């Protein structure tokens, strides 16, 4: 592995190609993403909250996010971009959030300009803080990072609240405040993705391709052609895993067996291989001579 910092590796990766960032809601899924060949991954607040049985309305705190990030980076070498919601408070809270995430081994985070209690970015009923207040949070985030390559991404939810032009104006302000990249949430169609990129040339952009939201599910190649450097798939794996788990649980309850689902499961060998079971076992034997 490179000795470069996680933030540096994330920056180098998006400079080389438009990155697919799959949502990894637990360390084992992060390891699977690395095994498949992804060059970076993403910790989604929506997915993390859901795994704890909670809605994505800002109920988790910075320490819970940092603990989840630390568990992922402990077993996965991919640079990890993390959701940081609103920064969990005002500018001074953002300072602490950045320090916690960086200490957990994350490559970077994104902050959003919603008011608390926040809502999923693809739902209605959102409200925003003042642009200058968000700019202050971005400045605090930049000032707090120890590694200058730790990535600070500013997300704006203004498209669904104040309109497209307001989203562009807010984004420009956030770049002036020091944001390394921009995340326009819930754009309405391909033309809006194109127009946003045209309005903010030379700034790394992130597109969110979450399912069942307000944005169309565009191909990564199309987004790359428009100028986007990162593409999120925040809850895709979790949604699929839940459906698969639902099917096997229904069979266990209704049929009394799981035989019809066996071909959809990881085998024991596949799971042990992903966990590096043999590596642990061989080292254990070696320690005892």
Catalytically active residues are: 42, 56, 83, 85, 110, 112, 120, 155, 185, 208
Give the number of C-alpha atoms closer than 13 A to the C-alpha of residue 13, restricted to the C-beta side: 25
Sign of the alpha-carbon torsion through 89, 90, 92, 97: positive
DSSP assignment of 216-267: ----HHHHHHHT--EEEE-SHHHHHHHHHHHHHHHHHHHTS--GGGGGGSPP
Cis omega (within 30 of 0) for bond into 117: yes
Please name the helix (run of DSSP H) or strand (run of DSSP E) that holds residue 138, with its range, or none: helix 131-144
Q: Which residue has the tokens 């266990």?
A: 252
Q: Are 230 and 204 in contact, with CB atoms under 8 Å apart?
A: yes
The rounded distance, in Å, linking the Cα atoms of 206 and 229 is: 6
CB contact at 8 A, 97 and 129: no
Strands 108-112 and 151-156: parallel
For strands 80-83 and 151-156, give the pairing: unpaired
C-alpha–C-alpha distance, residues 45 and 64, integer Å = 10
């Amino acid at each position: 592995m490179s000795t470069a910092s996680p933030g540096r590796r994330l920056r180098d990766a998006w400079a080389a190609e438009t990155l697919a960032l799959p949502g990894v809601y637990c360390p084992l899924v992060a390891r699977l993403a690395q095994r498949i060949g992804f060059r970076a991954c993403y910790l989604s607040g929506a997915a993390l909250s859901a795994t704890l049985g909670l809605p994505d309305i800002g109920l988790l705190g910075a320490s819970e996010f940092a603990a989840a990030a630390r568990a992922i980076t402990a077993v996965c070498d991919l640079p990890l971009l993390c959701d940081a919601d609103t920064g969990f408070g005002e500018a001074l809270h953002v300072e602490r959030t950045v320090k916690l995430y960086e200490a957990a081994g994350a490559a970077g985070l994104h902050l959003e300009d919603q008011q608390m209690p926040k809502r999923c970015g693809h739902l209605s009923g959102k409200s925003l803080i003042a642009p200058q207040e968000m700019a202050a949070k971005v400045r605090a985030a930049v000032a707090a990072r120890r590694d200058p390559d730790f990535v600070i991404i500013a997300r704006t939810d203004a498209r669904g609240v104040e309109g497209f032009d307001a989203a562009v104006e807010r984004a420009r302000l956030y770049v002036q405040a020091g944001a390394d990249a921009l995340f326009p949430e819930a754009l309405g169609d391909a033309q809006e993705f194109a127009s946003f990129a045209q309005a903010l040339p030379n700034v790394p952009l992130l597109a969110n391709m979450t399912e069942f939201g307000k944005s169309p599910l565009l191909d990564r190649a199309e987004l790359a052609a428009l100028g986007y450097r990162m593409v999120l798939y925040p809850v895709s794996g979790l949604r699929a895993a839940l459906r698969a788990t639902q099917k096997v649980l229904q069979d266990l309850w209704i049929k009394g067996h799981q035989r019809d689902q066996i071909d959809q499961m990881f085998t024991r060998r596949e799971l042990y291989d992903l966990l590096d079971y043999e590596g642990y076992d061989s080292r254990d034997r070696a320690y005892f001579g």
